Structure 1
Amino acid sequence: MKSLTIGKHTVPYPLIQGGMGVRVSAAGLAGAVAKCGGVGLIATAGLALNSDHTDKKYFEADLLALKDEIRKAYEIAPDGVIGTNCMVAVSDYDDIVRTSCEAGAKVIVSGAGLPLNLPGLTVDYPDVALVPIVSSVKAAELIARKWHKGFGRLPDAVVVEDPDTAGGHLGEKLENIGNGDYDQYETVRGVKAYFKEKWQLDMPIIAAGGIWDRDDLERALAEGADGVQMASRFVCTEECDADPAFKQAYLDCTQEDIGLIMSPAGLPGRALKANIDQVRAHDIDGNISCPSGCLKKCAYKKDKERFCIVHALDRAQRGDRDTGLIFCGTNAWKAHKMETVAEIFAELFD
């Protein structure tokens, strides 16, 4: 099993741990994955909540909490590759990216929108690897052209996310998900070929969505990917930062419990759907006003539609299975036991 090099950073195993907010993948999980030889990602969305800085205003607390988590992750894995997952859709995206660099993140993975200005935000940190998330060759082409024209830079790797299997926010229209038209590995090979033919680059392409076990990993590599991104598999680990009740929801769920919802961010998302009415009722019937303004565009902030995404995710991470929103991939039902990150690496990489 070959190593994975992204920009100037190499890890022994071709695995990135996907970012899971709010605080599902924070320092504990990211540090453990990096210590085992993968890329550990801290999900930056909503870190202000449930932090040591709740006495501060939301955006100030967000940046302070991000610095805390990166520092804690490096305490676990001093020589590891720690990065952040930064959502384009959040209001303080620019500050989150810059603070990630200042605090020592070696990789920035960015999705939930097209990160067209990401190189400009990181110009003072050329060693930080930049990795956009796409679901189509067209999106990869657009990012490459914009980055090259505006900043003289190209991605250091590209994550190709499968909207039919991935968890959390998905970069595809709701009506296009699950209709049988999408072929993840055709997209992987298409993005790979584009960078080879247009830019003469052997671009590392990371397959994300639906990766659970060694068979999935080996298939991804055989189909042309250079590595995989895994998120849901790491939830039921001792090191995952979520409350035990959150992890138990994965252990209890069935395949039928997993479905699509519409986020107030304007993006579809995959989650445990049984309690979605309670999630809405908590925020709408409770007449809760937008507490943070965390998103650039938000149906709840504007018209009190759906629910407050950051607080719904925060409630779940704290263990509220009644009114908390629990994101997951299509394979979350395969979780049957608690394990450690090291045990997962041993299974995947023998």
Structure 2
Amino acid sequence: MNFGKPDDVDWRTSTMNLDTALCRLFHIRYPIFLAGMAGGPGTVKLAAAVSNAGGLGILGSAYMTPEVLRAAIRELRKLTNAPFGVNLFSIQTVDDNSRTEEVQRELNEIRKILDIPLVQGDQVQSPEYFEQQFAVLIEEQVPVISTAFGVLPTHMMKQAKSHGIRIVTMATTVQEALLAEQAGSDAIVAQGSEAGGHRGTFDISSRPMGANIGTMALVPQMVDQVGIPVIAAGGIMDGRGLVAALALGAEGVQMGTRFLTSIESGAHEAYQKILLSSNEESTTITNAFSGRPARGVKNAFIENWDKRGIEPLKFPTQNTATRDIRNAASRQNNPDFMSLWAGQGLRMLTAGQSAASIVEETVRQAQTILLNTVH
């Protein structure tokens, strides 16, 4: 993006309005996506608020039953007439119970701390909703499907495209971005290592903690190699981050952590309190909660698990095995044993701010920087 003083007034006007190719492709006013935050923090109200404010609200649906997902989409449509998206985990899941008994013994030590029932046995059964969830998205004609952990399978990609649905794929390396483009994705989220929540790395078999390339390094390399819009994610919390992403060649940004303490957030009150008292050194990447690497605030669960030196079960088996612990911690208002997913920009969080206000503030700050630059 050229920040030199332009002679073309129309260029200047569109720049001040942040009207990038991403906006035109997804029919949104501002190049700001809400990250699809599954498991509670990303509510229907939050997604609708971001869409109504001119961004693209994305609903994290990975753990929703098909019935709950359908109801959520219909509720979302009641709250906004603007485009929105739904995020899925594009991964075929099979429980691996080869070490379940061993892991449950370790988890029982944590259950004793929370005073909840111990778990005996060597079998865990995780629900598998992916195919049914996708069917719901087709039936409900959602405008955008976003995926983590990989691209949509070929038959799903073709079906979504035939219905005019836009596809966004999260990628953590240039090679993943190329695979996403070849598969037919309309845009790619370049997820830098600063990003909160699960790493979008496609294959973690040779790198258990996922690919961890910083946003500043990842975005321009990805932009240089693909011909579709790149959306920067990871550590972006305000208009400064948006302008920096545009300067690196991205067409927009995706923000998740920034909205965790918003009025519309579904994050537990104790979770939000921890976030607001944390800083850039507070998070770590762990696979202890789910079996896949994710960035979150360090707490007693992570520390206890790391001390025991045991490998977690594979995703989603570990996630299912730890669910009772996370649920009990929420009921007890105990953040020590919650999964406190968050990125590294925690000092820039604010309390009690609406999602619309966050979008507007981000846009206003970016416009001010751009205006000062072109003048």
Give the TM interval when normalised to the shorter protein: 0.7 to 0.9
Structure number with greater Rg is 2
For the Cα contact (< 8 Å) 1:22–1:314, is it kept in 2?
no
Instruction: Return closer, same or farther for 1:185/1:277 CA change in 2, 3 Å cut-off.
Output: closer
Matched, 1:17 2:34: yes
One-letter amino acid of the counterpart of residue 300, structure 1: Q
In structure 1, what is the equivalent of residue 90 of structure 2? 88
Deviation at 1:317? 6.7
* TM-score, with structure 2 as normaliser: 0.71
SS at match of 2:224: helix
One-letter amino acid of the counterpart of residue 260, structure 1: I
Distance in 2 separating the partners of 1:210 and 1:121: 33
How is 1:155-304 mapped onto 2 (pairs within 5 angstroms)?
155-162=185-192, 164-172=193-201, 173-174=207-208, 182-196=213-227, 203-263=228-288, 265-277=290-302, 297-300=315-318
One-letter amino acid of the counterpart of residue 37, structure 1: G
Deviation at 1:123? 4.0
For the Cα contact (< 8 Å) 2:295–2:341, is it kept in 1?
yes
One-letter amino acid of the counterpart of residue 79, structure 2: I
In structure 2, what is the equivalent of residue 97 of structure 1? 134
In structure 1, what is the equivalent of residue 356 of structure 2? 342
CA distances 1:10-50 after superposition (whole Å, capped 9, x unpaired): 10000100011202112011010011011101101223xxx
SS at match of 2:63: coil
Distance in 2 separating the partners of 1:74 and 1:279: 43
% identical equivalent positions:
24
Deviation at 1:212? 0.6
CA distances 1:149-188 after superposition (whole Å, capped 9, x unpaired): xxxxx211111100x201111135356766xxx3534433
Deviation at 1:116? 3.9
Distance in 2 separating the partners of 1:94 and 1:42: 17
CA distances 1:113-165 after superposition (whole Å, capped 9, x unpaired): 343437447347531101111111111222333x2xxxxxx211111100x20
Deviation at 1:74? 1.7
Distance in 1 separating the partners of 2:280 and 2:315: 31
Distance in 2 separating the partners of 1:92 and 1:46: 8
One-letter amino acid of the counterpart of residue 86, structure 2: T
In structure 2, what is the equivalent of residue 308 of structure 1? 321
Q: CA RMSD in A?
A: 2.9
Distance in 2 separating the partners of 1:97 and 1:342: 29
One-letter amino acid of the counterpart of residue 21, structure 1: A
For the Cα contact (< 8 Å) 1:257–1:274, is it kept in 2?
no
SS at match of 2:36: coil
Deviation at 1:325? 1.2
Instruction: Return closer, same or farther for 1:308/1:28 CA change in 2, 3 Å cut-off.
Output: farther
One-letter amino acid of the counterpart of residue 34, structure 1: S
For the Cα contact (< 8 Å) 2:283–2:344, is it kept in 1?
yes
In structure 1, what is the equivalent of residue 14 of structure 2? none
Deviation at 1:251? 1.4
In structure 2, what is the equivalent of residue 33 of structure 1? 50
In structure 1, what is the equivalent of residue 102 of structure 2? none
In structure 2, what is the equivalent of residue 43 of structure 1? 60
Instruction: Return closer, same or farther for 1:265/1:242 CA change in 2, 3 Å cut-off.
Output: closer
SS at match of 2:281: helix
CA distances 1:217-272 after superposition (whole Å, capped 9, x unpaired): 11001110000000000011111123333322211223333112114654211111
Distance in 2 separating the partners of 1:272 and 1:30: 24
One-letter amino acid of the counterpart of residue 66, structure 2: L
- Paired residues in the alignment total 300
Instruction: Return closer, same or farther for 1:195/1:322 CA change in 2, 3 Å cut-off.
Output: closer
In structure 1, what is the equivalent of residue 371 of structure 2? none
For the Cα contact (< 8 Å) 1:141–1:194, is it kept in 2?
yes
One-letter amino acid of the counterpart of residue 75, structure 1: K
Greater Cα offset, 5-14 or 32-41: 5-14
Distance in 2 separating the partners of 1:347 and 1:11: 17
For the Cα contact (< 8 Å) 2:191–2:234, is it kept in 1?
yes
Instruction: Return closer, same or farther for 1:66/1:310 CA change in 2, 3 Å cut-off.
Output: farther
Greater Cα offset, 260-269 or 94-103: 260-269
Report which of the two has the higher share of helix.
Answer: 2
For the Cα contact (< 8 Å) 2:261–2:267, is it kept in 1?
no
One-letter amino acid of the counterpart of residue 44, structure 1: S
Matched, 1:115 2:152: yes
Distance in 2 separating the partners of 1:186 and 1:280: 31
One-letter amino acid of the counterpart of residue 97, structure 1: F
Distance in 2 separating the partners of 1:252 and 1:271: 14
Greater Cα offset, 257-266 or 101-110: 257-266
SS at match of 1:11: coil
